[in-house]
Amino acid sequence: MTSVCRNKRLNRWVEEVAALCRPERIHWCDGSRQEYDRLMGEMVSAGTAIPLAGRVNSFLFRSDPSDVARIESRTYLSTRNREDAGPTNNWIAPESLKQTMTSMYDGCMRGRTMYVIPFSMGPIASPLAKIGVQITDSPYAVCNMHIMTRVGERVIQALGKDGEFIPCLHSVGAPLGPGQKDVPWPCAPVEEKYISHFPEENLLWSYGSGYGGNALLGKKCLSLRIASSMARREGWLAEHMLILRLISPEGRRYHIAAAFPSACGKTNLAMIRPTISGWKAETIGDDICWMKIRPDGRLHAINPETGFFGVAPGTSFSSNPVAMGMLRENIIFTNCALTEDGDVWWEGMNGTPERAIDWKGRPWTPGRGEPAAHPNARFTAPAVQCPTEYHDWDDPEGVPIDIFIFGGRRSAVIPLVYEAFDWDHGVFMGASASSEATAAILDKVKPVRRDPFAMSPFCGYNMGDYFRHWLEMGDRLAGKAPRIFYVNWFRKDAEGRWLWPGFGENSRVLKWMCDRVDGRVGAIKTPIGLMPEKGDLDLSGLSIPEADLEELFFIDKDSWRREIPDIHAYFEQFGDRLPDRLRGQLRALDERLLSA
Ligand code: GTP
Ligand code: SPV
Ligand code: MN
């Protein structure tokens, strides 16, 4: 198929990539339903996709067991100066990385189709949107991109003759020899995988993986790593945050953006069904949030995506009925279990089947000792199917943010909720955030790691400069800055039981935040921040033992003081890139803990 594209730079880039990767054919994606159906049909015939009898137009994929999550140890930020990538990113010099990868790309698409996917992150023509073009040899990536982004000719039109786009090159790194039969999930061995970012040129090169954030380049690669670096240069924010609209019984709308690390509850909070009477919620985004200061002086947010790539295990009619309602049709499932009646299943879904086929394609029965679904099994779902979908989807202006929430998964130490004294203290709370390891990444990491703003794996420049950028955004926003809170839904008792019921009940905590924003309630000043006064957290209709509540809010000064050296060491790795204002915040926390 020849292109209708008049963009010279794009046409030249497609020619260059084709000459290097040597695919059998080139296909320009138009984003149509027919295109999606045809590619799915081909993948079904090839044995890669399994059509589900239990759900309309839905398919199950099983990845290679070595390719089940993002892989941070193979993710690179390639800047001319190492310092500009900073100590939290893997770095290789651009010339050297490009040389290595060019030799890997050489002939890497032999025997395959090269797809050209023009896509927009954000409503086309929004002042907050960006255009990317992904070249890939993975039809699975194409179908996912159809759901997750705005794909097609409208984007080519918007690009015109000389519009700007972000080139995103992707190959699974598995060329086919003449007559060679393909495998269901082609990919390269771990040590040949590269997920590379060249933020100084707004360029992405990914090789060897077909999974999630490694392969759907509009997501983490473009919308966070490249975009955060552009955002710093251009004075806006690209964050790993969900966006939620909460509506009070009186009809007041609050817009909340929350940053939790991977697999720590963003999708679930974004789809919350409040348990407190009269309150409603609408889902705007579950993973990525782009924000700009608009002419009203406030920070306005859009979700640049159009779909949800969510963690399947743990999703059930009791934990997340909204997601379950969304998953009935038009879904791509990856690494879930397959039941006898042709439906998907995963751990934590209501009920357990007597037998199933596990994510590796083997017969499975309960009690086998291994999960049937991979812990990072995912669904890809169109946002328009979300029962709590927000209706101003294409509003180019986005929504004004009232509340920021930071958080993570900590079984001890961190209380259920506290509020920042002011913006700088809030930035300190985000910068010192920490979380326990989850299955969202392949790498082995420390049991508790610092994950500032949930951006540690996604910040496209030196994290010390990122903290400074947040402080400066606060200076610009002044009195119009959102209020900042910290939450931990994951505190456990000594027996390992969750102290807080979570999910829909989290609305109680959100309501307290809204009450704080509008000055309806006061707060108790503690060494770590402001906490709810007795009776202000609405617990009506919830039976939770008094002792559990006490533990949820307990601040053990000794354990908090033990965090200080760890935060200090984390901060000091940034050297002179760390803003002094954060050093001051850490000192002040230490002093408050000492004198309390
Ligand atoms: P990414 O897509 O990787 O960025 O993850 P996410 O932050 O969107 O996480 P998600 O909402 O998918 O939740 C991950 C896991 O945490 C799931 O197994 C959920 O069931 C569980 N979870 C989410 N919210 C809560 C909560 O309030 N309490 C408890 N105990 N578990 C939760
Ligand atoms: C995450 O890991 O934060 C995800 C999944 O949202 S992935 O798209 O694979 O990055
Ligand atoms: Mn995420």
pLDDT digits (tens, 9 = 90+) for 563-583: 999 999 999 999 999 999 999
130 vs 539: CA distance, rounded Å: 43
Cα 544 to Cα 538: distance, rounded to the nearest angstrom = 12
Whether 120 and 158 have beta carbons less than 8 Å apart is answered as yes
Residues with CB under 5 A from ligand 3 (ion): 262, 287
**Which among 552, 504, 559 has a CA at the least distance from the CA of 532?**
552
Query: Which residue has the least CA distance to atom 8 on ligand 2?
Result: 213
pLDDT score of 27: 98
Distance 526 CA to ligand 2 centre (A): 35
CA separation for the pair 576, 221 (Å, rounded): 27
Q: How far is the C-alpha of 210 from the C-alpha of 112, rounded, in Å?
A: 14
Cα 444 to chain center, whole Å? 19
Residue nearest to atom 32 of ligand 1 (CA): 265
Distance of CA 390 from the midpoint of ligand 2 (Å): 22
For residue 133, the CA-to-ligand 2 centroid distance in Å is 20
Q: The tokens 């889902």 sit on which residue? A: 283
Three-state SS at 31: coil
Average pLDDT, the chain: 96
Q: What is the pLDDT of residues 112-141, one digit of tens each?
A: 999 999 999 999 988 889 999 999 999 999
Which atom of ligand 2 is least distant from the CA of 378? 5
Question: Comparing C-alpha atoms, which of 271, 302, 274 is closest to residue 286?
Answer: 271
Distance CA 200, CA 211 (A): 25
- Residues 6 or more apart whose CB falls under 8 angstroms from that of 95 comprise none
For residue 311, which atom of ligand 2 is closest to its CA? 5
- Is the separation of the CB atoms in 407 and 264 below 8 Å? yes
Residue 90 bridge partners (DSSP): 76
Identify which of 149, 170, 197, 220 to mutate to test ligand 2's pocket (most ligand atoms within 8 A of the CB).
220
113: CB partners within 8 A, 6+ apart: 23, 24, 25, 26, 27, 137, 139
Mean pLDDT of 23-39: 98
Whose Cα sits closest to atom 4 in ligand 2? 262
Residue with tokens 């082609």: 186
Residue 360 near residue 65, CB atoms below 8 Å = yes
Ligand 1 contact, 286 CB (< 6 A): yes
Find out whether the beta carbon of 262 lies less than 6 Å from any atom of ligand 2. Answer: yes
pLDDT at 4: 82
Which domains are assigned to the chain?
A: 8-48+70-235 (3.40.449.10), 307-385 (2.170.8.10), 402-595 (3.90.228.20)
Distance 243 CA to ligand 3 centre (A): 13
Which residues, including other chains, have CB under 8 Å from residue 505's CB and lie 6 or more apart?
275, 542
Q: Give the atom of ligand 1 at the shortest distance from the alpha carbon of 310.
A: 2
Angle, CA of 65, 68 and 72, to the nearest 5°: 125
Residue 313 Cβ inside 6 Å of ligand 1? The answer reads yes
Q: Does 220 sit in the ligand 2 pocket, CB within 6 Å?
A: yes
The model's pLDDT over 279-318, given as tens digits with 9 standing for 90+, comes to 999 999 999 999 999 999 999 999 999 999 999 999 999 9
Q: For position 159, what pLDDT does the model report?
A: 95
Å from CA of 150 to ligand 2 middle:
19
Listed residue (142, 184, 187) closest to 360, CA to CA: 184
pTM of this prediction exceeds 0.95? yes
Active-site annotation holder among 187, 264, 289, 336: 264
Residue 514 has pLDDT above 50, yes or no: yes
264 given a catalytic annotation = yes
Q: How far is CA 349 from the centre of its chain?
A: 22
Q: Are 418 and 552 in contact (CB under 8 A)?
A: no
- Site to substitute for ligand 2 among 287, 288, 334, 380, most atoms within 8 A of C-beta: 287
The confidence score (pLDDT) of residue 3 equals: 61
Nearest residue to 407 via CA among 386, 430, 424: 430
Task: Tell me how far apart the alpha carbons of residues 430 and 434 are, in angstroms, rounded to a whole number.
Answer: 9
Residue 455 CA to ligand 3 centre (angstroms): 10
For position 391, what pLDDT does the model report? 78
The values of phi and psi at residue 276, to 5°, are -85, 140
Ligand 2 atom at minimum distance from 458 CA: 3
Distance (Å, whole) CA 269 – CA 507: 9
Q: Which of 401, 460, 453, 459 is nearest to 426 (CA)?
A: 453
Residue 1's pLDDT band, with cuts at 50, 70 and 90, is very low
Beta strands per DSSP E along 5-44: 25-28
- State the average pLDDT over residues 44-55: 96
Q: Backbone phi, then psi, for 101, in 5-degree steps?
A: -75, -35
Of 99, 101, 136, 103, nearest to 119 by C-alpha is 136
